[in-house]
Amino acid sequence: MLVVIAIGFTAGLAFSPLSWGGVASGLVPRFEGTETVMLATSMLGATVMPHAVYMHSSLVRDRHGTDDRPKRITTLLRATRWDVAVSLVLAGSVNIAMLLLAAASLQGVKGIDGIAEAHAAMSNSMGPVVGLIFAVGLFAS
């Protein structure tokens, strides 16, 4: 399901008219007032969710088991760090991809108050195939 969501939310980037130099410079945070700090905080909060860290920690234990031996504990901690780090990087990448897709396809479009309107605007802007892939990603999420 996660792969379907990732593909659904990132496939449109291949067809979007983005300036990749502008995207790279936009990834550098600039705190120029309360609005930009709130945007950075919301992106961080959408990616680094405490329940996600807790869930991935539990998944590692389920996959690798538990043990009281110090060497095994070190291995489990390393596996936990890798699992959580990879998951957060993937979640952050999908969040950034969704913002880029919205910036590329929904700029200047008014009246997008829900998922149906976002899908319609995406289909109008990037074509029905990208709209369908986006809809599958929305359904999976």
Whether the Cβ atoms of residue 109 and residue 120 lie closer than 8 Å to each other: no
> Which of 1-10, 89-98, 126-135 is most confident?
126-135
Of 97, 86, 93, nearest in space to 52 by CA: 86
99 burial (CB, 10 Å; 0-12 / 13-18 / 19+) is middle
- The DSSP secondary-structure symbol of 48 reads S
**Phi, psi of 89, deg, nearest 5:** -65, -45
pLDDT digits (tens, 9 = 90+) for 58-103: 666 666 666 677 787 788 788 778 877 887 788 778 778 888 887 7
pLDDT digits (tens, 9 = 90+) for 10-38: 887 887 777 888 888 877 777 888 888 88
The pLDDT assigned to 62 comes to 66
